Amino acid sequence: MTTTTEQLDQYAAAAEAAAPVWRAASAAERATWLRAAADALDAHADDLVAIADAETRLGGTRLRGEVGRTTGQLRLFATVVEEGSYLELTVDDADAGATPPRPELRRMLTGVGPVAVFSASNFPFAFSVAGGDTASALAAGNPVIVKAHSGHPRLSARTAEIVADALVAAGAPAGSLALVEGREAGNALVQHPVIQAAGFTGSLGGGRALFDLASGRPDPIPFYGELGSVNPVVVTAAAVAARGDALAQGLVGSFTLGIGQFCTKPGVVFVPRGAGFEDLVATLVPSTAGGPLLTDRITAAFPEGIAHLEADASVEVLAHGAPAEDGSARPIVLTTDAAAVAARPETLLEECFGPVTLLVRYDGADDLLAALRAVPGSLTATIHSEEEDDVADVLALLERRAGRVLFAGWPTGVAVTWSQHHGGPWPATTSLHTSVGATAIRRFLRPVVFQDAPQRLLPAELRDDTLSRLPHRRNGELRVP
């Protein structure tokens, strides 16, 4: 089913009418609306999980946990709104004695206006209709129009219905949330003059096409896309000697988690040649099982991605998982050398969505660093080392390549917190902002400065009687109530 141009115009007009109400709503009102949406999703969790499992085959346990993450995100942003520091309230008092004389300036962040959100396939709740993009956009004071993912259309429609009804019942204006379907509608959505920003999680090709549409508008808008990531991991010889078995188990568990369909999957792992790590991995992989992938497109792309890697003369198959049945994706581990990666990164460092990882053998620090310099921007980077290892150069390089650097554990797990960052240099994302955690709200805000404005005409947050109750900076001094 495809949303018509007339329907999109209706949704956009409703969102445009709702935007001033969201912007003007108090922190208490906005927080109430967000919590109402979370409560409604929790109340309908059983029905939603059943629909999601039928469409995605991700299993009830995984999906129920994802509902909890989704409602937790909504509640986190309610606390962000109440706490108030996201507004970046800043005041410089007038100073006639300054050279030149300084007027009174009051600055804050405010909602950009209606936001487009494009759902992801691999997290049908947490990165879909009511996921982090929607939660952060609403928290910033913006209505949202969501482009449903074709991999879970019934779930998208039901989720949108529940959340839209809950928002209105809690006092939010009609038009706060709407849903469109179909690729043509998605293209039209990002180009619609009412839309002021867009959030996307998906493929590099699809995201780049939408990014270009957003940038090519008569009035270009910011497009916050999460597009692709190989998430490099570096393992030192000392780490293999100290805890090789645990590291091998962790890697195998991580790259096969969710049938390898996490955007933070460790896709390329740099291992010291001759340390025995490959043998440890090879003994574990045959006992792993694959499973059906999320969509027909992903299912078709997985063997094509493997074939693309295997076509390189340096690549060998280290191990396969258990034989696949019913079209399921079979886990696979491939190997290559650091020199090959440095020479042909466009082939060997292309993301392959599914249960596959590439082990890259390196000989010494220079060999490793040369290969790491070829790694594209990623969401995460991981270092497994020991106290005696000098990894300063590796860290400095990876810090430039990724938005989150781990020193323990594996990247397939993104805590939703105030300090989290889920982003990275291109092609991981189209911007430097995060799509997970409290500061995801910053994507859908813009700064406004009021010069010599009467108190009665200022937004409530910038008036003196309100400022005393909110975090703000005055004449350069940070003040926290």
**What residues are annotated to the active site?**
226, 263
Longest dimension (CA), the chain: 80
CB-CB neighbours of 456 under 10 Å: 6
Q: What angle do CA 143, 145, 146 make, to 5 degrees?
A: 135
Q: Which residues pair with 362 in a beta bridge?
A: 272
Distance from C-alpha of 270 to C-alpha of 263, rounded to nearest angstrom: 19
Nearest Cα residue to 236 out of 378, 364, 336: 364
Distance from C-alpha of 249 to C-alpha of 274, rounded to nearest angstrom: 19
Residue 444: partners with Cβ closer than 8 Å, 6 or more residues away: 111, 112, 115, 136, 137, 140, 142, 197, 199
What DSSP assignment string belongs to 112-169?
-S-EEEE--SS-TTTTSTTSHHHHHHHHTT--EEEE--TTSHHHHHHHHHHHHHHHHH
Q: Which residues pair with 472 in a beta bridge?
A: 479
Distance from C-alpha of 316 to C-alpha of 126, rounded to nearest angstrom: 36
The answer to whether the beta carbons of residues 144 and 118 sit under 8 Å apart is no
Take residue 269 and report the two structure tokens written for it.
Answer: 């792992």
Q: What 3-state DSSP class applies to 69?
A: helix
What angle, 0 to 180 degrees and rounded to 10, lies between the N-to-C axes of helices 27-43 and 132-139? 150
Number of H helices, E strands in the chain: 16, 17
